[in-house]
Amino acid sequence: MTTDAPEVVGEIAALRERLGAARAAGARIALVPTMGALHDGHLALVDRARELADVVVVSIFVNPLQFGAGEDLDRYPRTLDADVAALASRGVDLVFAPTAREMYPRGDVSTRITAGPIGDRYEGSSRPGHFDGMLTVVAKLLHIAMPDVALFGRKDAQQVFLVERMVADLDVPTVIEVVETVREDDGLALSSRNRFLDEPHRRAALALSEALRAASDAAAEGLAEALAEAAAAFGDHDDAELDYFVIVDPATLLPVADDFRGEALALVAARVGGTRLIDNAPLTL
């Protein structure tokens, strides 16, 4: 596998030119959208992209549209040089690293994708407008790159649901490939925000994966027992403040009924110190 650094382009026109030439030559193109601060979870997406396509593009853009007032836009890590170095051994061809002015040359964006009612739940309830901003930039990236396949991580389950629905609703000719969550040995889901955790908060962050595991273990007893065991897991970590723990139908992302039986998905979010973390896991009620 090549260890050459990928070409970094910051202009939409330059990316389109390079991908247009590749497409004309019959190449299959994969896009991995990221906000940078890459970790092994992102690299798992890149590795899968390399299996699926001839040309792999990784976008690195901290999208201001998906950050609300008081959120960590300025604090979000920006590590472009380290990210490009990490991608050098993964066979990535292009890194698209635009500025906010390149992506939004008029400043305020008057036309946005609306996430709909599901976008107002869970993460959307805690972060109003977040998913409208996320879908808007994903739609722009898909339009700019016109990839055959785009890859997303299952850790952001609500994001994946909304992106898949947008692609279906708007007949976008891109296949969405979902890659399983990558975890530390102790179960903590990898996240760019984990770097903000000191050692005590790193231990407290295990509340998320422990709650998911407790709910899964109790799921055979039904919804009420699964939710109770998840709440009890958070009781063991004083520094983890639970935002929500909900069990939903994967087909609709709506909360399941009390008597639901079958495959479900548990979603959890919590604030650990000053860092907000999310996770999810399938279970069978």
Q: What is the pLDDT of residues 229-264, one digit of tens each?
A: 999 999 888 899 999 999 999 999 999 999 999 999
Q: What distance in Å separates the CA atoms of residue 129 and residue 250, rounded to the nearest whole number?
A: 22
Q: What is the pLDDT of residues 180-191, one digit of tens each?
A: 999 999 999 999
Residue 42 bears catalytic tag: yes
Q: Average pLDDT in the 162-173 region?
A: 98
Q: Average pLDDT in the 192-218 region?
A: 95
The answer to whether the beta carbons of residues 89 and 6 sit under 8 Å apart is: no
In this model, does residue 153 exceed pLDDT 90?
A: yes
Alpha helices (H) along 170-252: 199-204, 206-218, 223-234
In this model, does residue 114 exceed pLDDT 60?
A: yes
Listed in sequence order, the residues at least 6 apart from 273 whose beta carbon sits closer than 8 Å to its beta carbon are 196, 197, 198, 201, 204, 239
Per-residue model confidence (pLDDT) at position 3: 59
Per-residue model confidence (pLDDT) at position 67: 87
Are β-strands 29-34 and 149-153 bridged in parallel, bridged antiparallel, or unpaired? parallel
What backbone torsions phi and psi does residue 188 show, to the nearest 5 degrees? Answer: -65, 125
In this model, does residue 74 exceed pLDDT 90?
A: no
Q: Is 5 helix (H, G, I), strand (E, B) or coil?
A: coil
User: Which of 1-10, 197-206, 264-273, 274-283 comes out lowest in average pLDDT?
Assistant: 1-10
Residue 1's pLDDT band (boundaries 50, 70, 90)?
very low
- Both tokens of 4, joined, read 């050459």
Quickly tell me which residue has 């000191």 as its tokens.
Answer: 198
Q: Average pLDDT in the 204-208 region?
A: 96
Quickly tell me which residue has 């969550």 as its tokens.
Answer: 181
Q: Is the entire prediction scored with pTM above 0.85? A: yes
Active-site choice (39, 42, 130, 237): 42
